Chains A and B, each alone.
Chain A
């Protein structure tokens, strides 16, 4: 990062902003964005489509310096969000410009499982963007719709708070809770199970999953995503998880779910969230899994085991 201005800029500021009505939301977000516009900063606003509708009238005159994105798409899988912020921040840092963003990854209709991954995402942002000088990120939380425990967690995971001016947050807890021990919902009794050992088992086990998902009517393109994601998870177990493992797979409503368990440990909390460099020898597996799936849950299990549960919508 060679930007001259950026060298002088303060470190990354990650702020929670709690709002209780739409007018407050619009006024504070617009003021935060326009402060950036006046400083010549590019701004990316990624909030749910319903919130975007409130902001469009006030912000569209700042296009293209201000970019608007629907978080429902950009962050449908919460693991997709950090790479987007990194791309945005680094592109502008290379041009010597600091930048700012508004990111609202949590809304009331997130499923409980998505919510946990969103909270993990908020904590990982502090790590992923710690080397992004001058980047200010405002994360709005709707106090009308979100439960108290979600708001409490947000107070602890953001080093800053307030809007439009950001202040140091005394409630911030600097330890990153990796949430690798949050229990996963039980594997349902109708799940099917397969064991695997060695690379020779990858293809036949993958085929079991594909056959089951196809039987449930999954479209061809999604079957391809599922096949690659499962294959990568199995290959990870074979290469880094003790050479063998167990796979459970089942249908849950509109999703097909696979859980791979092995003796591996993913020690980099950002694994799969940093775009792999073209020449790097490995580390593409989890990236592919995250990118191809709608939700991925990585958990440390008792006894030195690990689970990677992936969800692909039909």
Chain B
């Protein structure tokens, strides 16, 4: 699977990198051995063997620094003539050491960068190493999943859109409304945040309430609100204090 991930990057002429846990793990160099001349890739700086401590500054996980480094590495790759930057991070080992809430917010912020820049990040969550954050939780905060058939079905996801909005997709119901509300609350740090709901297939009262707080208390704009949300919004009286604007309440 990882080999296929990197092969796709080679085909697209992207710079490839991987971040290994301190305990070791799949090294891209080994994976690509036999597929291509790894030494040539290293010589022309197309392959970068990163280090896990890039994630941890002074012993503390710094999500902001990590997202900045994604942006900078992507820009360097472009400056060096590559079409983008593709990185595999084996991150499951980190989870026991970080605050789950800030981790999830970090993952959504990272997804926003991947949506707007030629950056592809594959986050490896070894299911044996995840603690305090379920596999399903991690799927929620990734725009896409690339994994074995684990039988996990995730009905709601947060991710970035090409124009920098946060997309909430799938089904936002009582099972995940509080969690998604918390993540959105942590991710939204700008006054003009936009939450895109074009692919929100279902929402219930609890989901609408979470979105109401994001819109009303955090001043986020709700874009492409589905008809069902508009209906619940009215029934619950949310429209009396925070109308879904016409442009936000697109009919579909």
Contacts and interface: CB of A to CB of B under 8 A. Distances in A.
Interface stretch (A88-96, A143-151, A181-189, A282-290): A282-290
Interface residues of B, number: 22
A278 B173 contact: no
Interface string A231-260: 110010011000000000000000000000
B227 A221 contact: yes
Contact of B237 (A227, A239, A278): A278
Interface string B168-206: 000101111000000000000000000000000011111
Contacts of B204: 228, 231-232, 235, 288
Interface stretch (B19-27, B124-132, B228-236): B228-236
Contacts, number: 62
A202 interface: yes
Nearest to A223: B228
B246 interface: no
A228 B227 CA distance: 12
A288 B235 contact: yes
A200 B175 contact: yes
Interface of B: 155, 171, 173-176, 202-206, 209, 227-228, 231-232, 235-238, 240-241
A245 to B, nearest CB: 14
B228 A276 contact: no
A224 interface: yes
A199 interface: yes
Contacts of B232: 228, 288
Contact of B173 (A225, A235, A239, A291): A235
Interface of A: 199-200, 202-203, 206, 221, 224-225, 227-228, 231-232, 235, 238-239, 275-276, 278, 284-285, 287-288, 291-292
A278 to B, nearest CB: 6
A2 B204 CA distance: 36
B228 A235 contact: no
A227 B173 CA distance: 11
Given A202-B174, A203-B171, A224-B228, A232 B205 contact: yes
Nearest to B234: A291
B174 A224 contact: no
A235 B206 contact: yes
A291 B235 contact: yes
B175 A202 contact: yes
Given A199-B173, A276-B237, A288-B232, 12 more contacts: A199-B174, A199-B176, A202-B175, A203-B171, A224-B231, A228-B205, A235-B204, A278-B236, A284-B209, A285-B205, A288-B236, A292-B231
A227 B209 CA distance: 17
Contact of A227 (B175, B202, B206, B241): B202
Nearest to B212: A278
